[in-house]
Amino acid sequence: MTMKGGVASQDFSAAIAAACEPATAVWSKVCVALKRELGDAAFGSWIAPAILREAASGDIVLVTPTGIARDWIRRSAWRRIGELWAANDPTGRRIDLKSRLEFEALAGVYVEASAKPATAAEPIEIVLPVSTDAPAVAPTSAKSPRTQGLQERFTFETFVPGPANEFAHAVARRIANWADGHFNPVLFHGPYGFGKTHLLNALAWEAMRNAPEKRVVYLTAERFLSTFVRAVMDRQTAAFKEELRAADLLIIDDVHFIAGKQSTQEELFHTLTALVEEGRRVVFSADRPPSAMTEMDAHLRSHLSAGLVCGLEPADRSLRLGILERKIQTLSAAHGFEPTMRPDVLQFLADRFTDSVRELEGALNTLSARAGEGLSRMTLEEVQAILRPHLRSGEKRITIDDIQKATSEHYGMKQADLLSERRNRAVARPRQAAMWLAKQLTTRSLPDIGRRFGGRDHTTVLHAVRRIEALRAEDSALNQDLETITRKLRG
Ligand SMILES: Nc1ncnc2c1ncn2[C@@H]1O[C@H](COP(=O)(O)OP(=O)(O)OP(=O)(O)O)[C@@H](O)[C@H]1O
């Protein structure tokens, strides 16, 4: 079914101006009205995930992530979309509606009109549909929905192998090459901050590059949980299942996160068995082996161990030195300074920051921010003086999970509320407070924090941090809340 926009004005200059208006601008206007008319929930669930594409002929196609979404729009909103489109696009461009699968069958005919209208709410987007525009070599900086959740810097090129992770690295490369799926699922486990997410991201990028026609789905367990909860609330579980089960390769990061969350575990169990039965690949990461996931449902636990369980060990000294050298090269390439540091400084860093590679990287970033191009000339004394605050020993390490638990407990809500899409103040303010605490008490980056709060964007975290900073100046109750939670976390 296609629709045609009518010429609304006889005024020639107005028509010329309108003709220059890109389809995305028209769609944004349509979205503003649709959001008002349908309400946030329906708009966010069905319209926002759709993407506008433009044909060489000038025809516009609204592409939905699933057939179910296409049918919903056709049934419930298409007539209205046609009216709004016609009213806002006097040039009379046609707009058509297709599901992604239909659209991909016509691949090559269309070019992307835009990622998404500015007015669109955050979509229930859980897939990385891989199509002909997969990254040719390394991922580019443009973040399209299909690369949502993946970090561009986490590739095999930037991953340093060593004895601690050699086997995991080899297994990940094999999966990324779509080699035989003899071991399925594969679970990578290892301690906090030693490269699991990096490895899974690298695997996803490489798998997409090697087989652009296949569908690779990457999501964190937090995102799995929050998307599933939202799908249940919106009665969209069928669409949720359809999206996941259409994956050729499903990658779920930090699966331990859903331990104890009964219905989410069940859903994951069914997804896992369905995919494995069909010979599709499934990859997980976790902070411990399945045998140690005592809160995990026994059924799911045994299926997680049914393929290959593969450990990453903490990086040894030579690997830490290798990683430091690689990171220095990356920093120097980005900022144009000499890619070296004094050997005693390198050794000091490798010996003092052993808790995780994340800490090691954080120390290097601190030095680079302070010294800039003087990094290569820094003496050991200067380095020690700058890093002294980071070297407090015996301080308890606080995780984002700890912060979410303590914050939700303090405000008398569930941890899942902090990850949910709910925007009312009673939930939004504690969520912002928890994000602020995560920025203050952990070394996590803004994208990393967003990832752990239901897969939110780093700009949302930045906004939360700024909001809390501003409120602290005038809201003593909030200050007290933050102090109480911090005290509790520090133990
Ligand atoms: N072998 C490695 N080569 C290069 N960088 C590494 C390596 N191992 C870890 N890193 C870096 O350390 C940081 C932390 O790694 P990552 O986020 O993958 O840890 P993780 O094991 O997933 O931790 P968590 O369980 O807390 O999520 C990242 O910036 C990553 O690039």
Domain extent listing, the chain: 2-112, 152-311, 317-391, 400-490
Instruction: Give residue 167's identity as a one-letter amino acid code.
Output: F
Query: Above 70 in pLDDT, residue 440?
Result: yes
Ligand 1 pocket, residue 197 CB under 6 Å: yes
Q: What is the mean pLDDT of the chain?
A: 82
| 4 three-state secondary structure | strand
Query: Above 50 in pLDDT, residue 143?
Result: no
- Residue 295 C-alpha to ligand 1 middle, in angstroms? 25
Q: What are phi and psi of 166, to 5 degrees?
A: -55, -45
Which ligand 1 atom sits nearest the alpha carbon of residue 448?
17
- Residue 362 C-alpha to ligand 1 middle, in angstroms? 11
As a whole number, mean pLDDT of residues 428-455 equals 90
Contacts of 449 (CB under 8 A, 6+ apart): 400, 435, 438, 439, 442, 458, 461
The superfamily in CATH containing domain 152-311 is P-loop containing nucleotide triphosphate hydrolases (3.40.50.300)
Residues 240, 231: contact at Cβ < 8 Å? yes
- Residue 348 C-alpha to ligand 1 middle, in angstroms? 20
Q: How far apart are CA 143 and CA 134, in angstroms?
A: 12
Q: How far apart are CA 336 and CA 40, in angstroms?
A: 46
- Residue 303 C-alpha to ligand 1 middle, in angstroms? 26
Question: Which residues are annotated binding-site positions for ATP?
Answer: 193, 195-197
Q: How far apart are CA 463 and CA 468, in angstroms?
A: 9
The per-residue pLDDT for 297 is 94
CA distances from 424 to 148, 328, 417, 420 (A): 25, 44, 11, 11
Residues 446, 458: contact at Cβ < 8 Å? yes
The per-residue pLDDT for 438 is 93
Is the domain spanning 317-391 CATH 1.10.8.60? The answer is: yes
Q: How far apart are CA 436 and CA 440, in angstroms?
A: 6
Confidence of residue 9 (pLDDT cuts 50, 70, 90): very low
- pTM metric for this prediction: 0.61
Question: Which residues are annotated binding-site positions?
Answer: 193, 195-197
ipTM over 0.95: yes
Query: Above 70 in pLDDT, residue 107?
Result: no
The per-residue pLDDT for 302 is 95
Higher-confidence residue of 272 and 75: namely 272
Q: How far apart are CA 267 and CA 264, in angstroms?
A: 5
SS3 content of the chain, % helix, strand, coil (to 5): 55, 10, 35
As a whole number, mean pLDDT of residues 137-159 equals 65
Q: How far apart are CA 40 and CA 88, in angstroms?
A: 21
Q: Which of 25-39, 43-57, 230-244, 329-343 has the lowest mean pLDDT?
A: 43-57
Fold agreement between 317-391 and 400-490: no
Query: Above 50 in pLDDT, residue 13?
Result: no
The per-residue pLDDT for 198 is 96
Is the domain spanning 400-490 CATH 3.90.650.10? The answer is: no
Ligand 1 pocket, residue 206 CB under 6 Å: no
**Left, alpha or beta for 319 (phi > 0: left; psi -120 to 50: alpha)?**
alpha
As a whole number, mean pLDDT of residues 196-212 equals 95
User: What's the CATH code, domain 2-112?
Assistant: 3.30.300.180
Confidence of residue 35 (pLDDT cuts 50, 70, 90): confident
